[in-house]
Structure 1
């Protein structure tokens, strides 16, 4: 297990931005993905609270972990939706004790400020925000001067309340670069162009786990979907062969059975006659 003192801190991530060092970030959901990211030298991981556990933290090794706090109908903490600042504070402290390094929070500025005031590294969200998608629709945000200004103003409000960073999702590359260069926040770019402080993708997209529509910014590096399809067909084949074996008497074989000495079985039958 990697000791906490050997993991990157907020100070270290800020130093990476100051040096102009590109930061790599992945959204992962399993200990296997977290361990692979650590072994590959990925800098930051995003892990939803529902997936985060001591096992995940250990698997993440030296990666800096952003834990996603549940929001509205998107998740629960201790069986309930988070609604108040106190709810969010309790959840953040819970995941902090588990080893979380920063905390994604899509709640109001007032709630985010309470977390910041309690020295919790908070990551907000600007641009295309999935949890409030009804206001924009699924599209790039910031292509007009008015929308770009709204995104910039949002960033400045997060900066003013003391946030550590913000996910910068699906905005024009020119806007992403301008914002990243002109804020102290760590801008975690997802479809925000090469000028963002971090390049952030979902592991499932990197691995090609899904079929159908993929976001413009997604890049597939492996074809796990084909491998999963192959494995599923192998499951079907194995189950079919098992069923055929049962019907034909091919399973179980003598080696699968528990033997009983003949004398003991005869004694058992004799006991029934008595």
Structure 2
């Protein structure tokens, strides 16, 4: 394990040596947990980079800022966002835009993570949320996408929902660091969303996800406890049991009497 903060050079040196582990996190708490769990890399929304506790929580994690597709239009906008992310502590940026934009970012020596296979923002071209690369033509298209990203200067890419054997063959033929999201162990590492691992939601879980905890049930329990606590408070107020003597500030009786006398005099003078 590399105890200091990883670099692009470190990641490249590890290609083919061991599986890297990457998480998508969206809170400082998840980032801190990833740091303590020994995770290698995290993907984060740019807004998390500005959280005051973020870098203290995750000082050694290689951090990829996700420049979400559609949030930016021109190379200039992507470049500005990438520089802002780098200044805020990101080590690389995720970009699913055109090769022209990837190339422009790489020209400025900004490490870029691309995306191949099933790309959620572009699923209309591949038929929806389903595996790609299951035909020779589709598999060759993924290979072309990888080589184009490599030539454009990207350093890594997510490869999503591609047959394991196809992904392994591609990974062995590229210098890109390929992070698998449902593309098997033949890639350079495995990438999952923290919310799926934690079981934080009640929606759809993709086939490639694995849930290790049941946070959704815990959230339900906490919400029930929250409602119960609020109801108990309201009941105490209605019964007059809150506030009790321990919840208020006491006052010496003589001071109170003198205060009341002065109030009475003040009221009399004001008439």
| Aligned equivalent of 1:69 | 67
**Alignment of 1:93 onto 2:67:** no
Match 1:111 to one of 101, 108, 127:
101
Aligned partner of 1:21 in structure 2 is 18
CA contact (8 A) 2:28 2:48 kept: no
Query: Equivalences for 1:151-190 in 2 at 5 Å?
Result: 151-190=142-181
Give the CA RMSD over aligned residues: 1.5
2:198 matched to which residue of 1? 207
Matched with 2:30 is 33
TM-score, with structure 2 as normaliser: 0.92
Give secondary structure in 2 for the equivalent of 1:139: coil
CA contact (8 A) 2:49 2:89 kept: no
Mapped partners of 2:56, 2:44: distance in 1? 13
Normalised by the length of structure 1, the TM-score is: 0.91
8 Å CA contact 1:57–1:98 kept in 2: the answer is no
Question: How many angstroms apart in 2 are the aligned matches of 1:269 and 1:176?
Answer: 87
| Cα pair 2:65 2:85 within 8 Å, conserved | yes
SS at match of 1:68: strand
Runs of 5+ consecutive residues of structure 2 not aligned to the other structure? none
1:83 maps to which residue? 73
Match of 1:241 in 2: 232
Equivalent-residue separation in structure 2 for 1:50 and 1:135 (angstroms): 30
What is the CA deviation profile of residues 85-119 of structure 1, one whole-angstrom value per residue up to 9, with x for unaligned ones? 11111111111111111110111110110001111
Structure 1 residue runs of 5 or longer lacking an equivalent are 73-80
> Following the alignment from structure 1 to structure 2, what is the Cα–Cα distance between the partners of residues 71 and 169?
16
Q: How many residues align?
A: 261
Compute the displacement of 1:256 (Å).
2.1
| Distance in 2, Cα, partners of 1:213 & 1:116 | 35
Superposed CA offset, 1:201-252 (max 9, x none): 0001111111242100111111111111111110010011011111111112
